[in-house]
Amino acid sequence: MNNLRRNFLKSSLLLSAGLFLKTGDIMSTTANQNRNLARQKLKLTFKPYTLDLKHVFTVSSNSRITTPVMLTEIEYDGLIGYGEASMPPYLGESQESVSRFLSKLDLSPFNDPNDIEDILHYIDMIEPGNTAAKASVDIALHDLVGKVMGQPWYRIWGYDPEKAPNTSFTIGIDTPEVVKQKTLEASPYKILKVKLGKGNDKEMIDAVRSVTDKPLYVDINQGWKDKQYALEMVHWLKERNIVFIEQPMPKEMIDETAWLTANSPLPIVADEAVQRLSDLINLHGAYSGVNIKLMKSTGMREAHKMLNYAKAIGMKTMIGCMTETSCAVSAAAHLSPNADYADLDGPLLIKNDVFDGVKIVNGKVTLNDRPGIGVKKLI
């Protein structure tokens, strides 16, 4: 809603409430408000922060114990919108690259945060890539606009928060004893996501299955290099209550993945193969599902478009995250009522969250009714 329309509605409400002001009074009040708003600028600030992980986190390509992030704020008219970029090193962005990108932005031509499409289009056109850096501005802007409107984003989008799915909890690659221990510690969660693809796949699944029969997602992180082996593993996993297979082969192996998807009894979900909407459109049926993450999609705006596109063409949809604070994960959670699956365990994997936001209650993604993305800064 633009400022003029907001002021008109305010004036109309005053009139209908019996507060009969003279037309001149209304006109001068509106003009003053518009002059004040016209002076308002969007002010972006950012600072680096390092997340400490609770456990060494190993996937098929690497291990790490920290994740660098950038925390952003956009200030406008006494309100602050919060955002975040998370940069797991293997994705190519860093605190230096995000800082360099954000330093190039000039939001001074914009004086109304409601112009989300124009503002984010300007940011996207500055240079390609930098998806996490762009997401950090997108999230802060959405938080700000939700606060201006006084509504949480799930309500602005028309989603029922009760329909948010259970989140999976991730078990990284490790020895059978550690995997058993981690699985037991994950007892509050109704679904587990098991990382595979380092050559000990059956050992990993047997270790998990020795202590729980919960449904599992498996994420290969491009670790399988042979389509026949992949299909044999999919059939083996199908017998062990696995819901879907995520990114089984390298993203470049499009034809082999399409063959696997056509022959697989389980959904084959793209993660590394899909960053943005254009990647999703270019898949041409090679996958039957997609893991949408704000740090890949450039934020909430494009993730929302991807979710709707994927659903429209019959793909399974997942809302996922990196290791992130409750800021970026809360932003993603607003999309989850419209997704088939959620993997929003980021804040659960870190020791030093700086936000209070979405909660996982009995394994379920549980949104609050605060406006914007629903977070409070803790320090």
Q: Minimal distance in Å, beta carbon 21 to Mg ion? A: 58
Which part of the chain contacts Mg ion (CB under 5 A), choosing from 166-174, 213-221, 274-282, 307-315?
213-221
CA distances from 59 to 194, 216, 221, 252 (A): 10, 16, 7, 19
**Least separation in angstroms between CB 319 and Mg ion:** 12
Which range, of 107-115, 120-128, 180-188, 214-222, touches Mg ion by CB under 5 A?
Answer: 214-222
Cα–Cα nearest to 360, from 378, 376, 372, 342: 342
CA distances to 10, 66, 116, 138 from 36, in Å: 16, 44, 21, 25
| Binding of residue 271 to Mg ion (CB under 5 A) | yes
Using CB under 5 A, which of the segments 171-179, 212-220, 229-237, 361-369 binds Mg ion? 212-220
Dig out the tokens for 286 from the structure: 């090679």
Residue number, 179 or 322, with CB nearest to Mg ion = 322
Supply the minimum distance, in Å, between the C-beta of residue 269 and Mg ion: 8
Give the x/- contact pattern for Mg ion in 216-255, rule: CB under 5 A. Answer: ---x--------------------------x---------
- Closest residue to Mg ion, judged by C-beta, is 271
Q: Which stretch binds Mg ion (CB under 5 A): 40-48, 256-264, 266-274, 279-287?
A: 266-274
**Cβ-based nearer residue to Mg ion, 91 or 258:** 91
The residue count of the chain comes to 379
CB of 220 to Mg ion, least distance (A): 8
Site for Mg ion in 140-179 (CB under 5 A): none
Closest CB 165 distance from Mg ion, rounded Å: 17
Instruction: Kindly state the smallest distance separating residue 241's Cβ from Mg ion, in Å.
Output: 20
In the bound complex, what is the minimum distance in angstroms from residue 47's beta carbon to Mg ion? 28
CA distance 293 to 279: 13
Q: Which is nearer to Mg ion, 144 or 204 (CB)?
A: 204
> What does the binding site for Mg ion look like in residue numbers (CB under 5 A)?
219, 246, 271
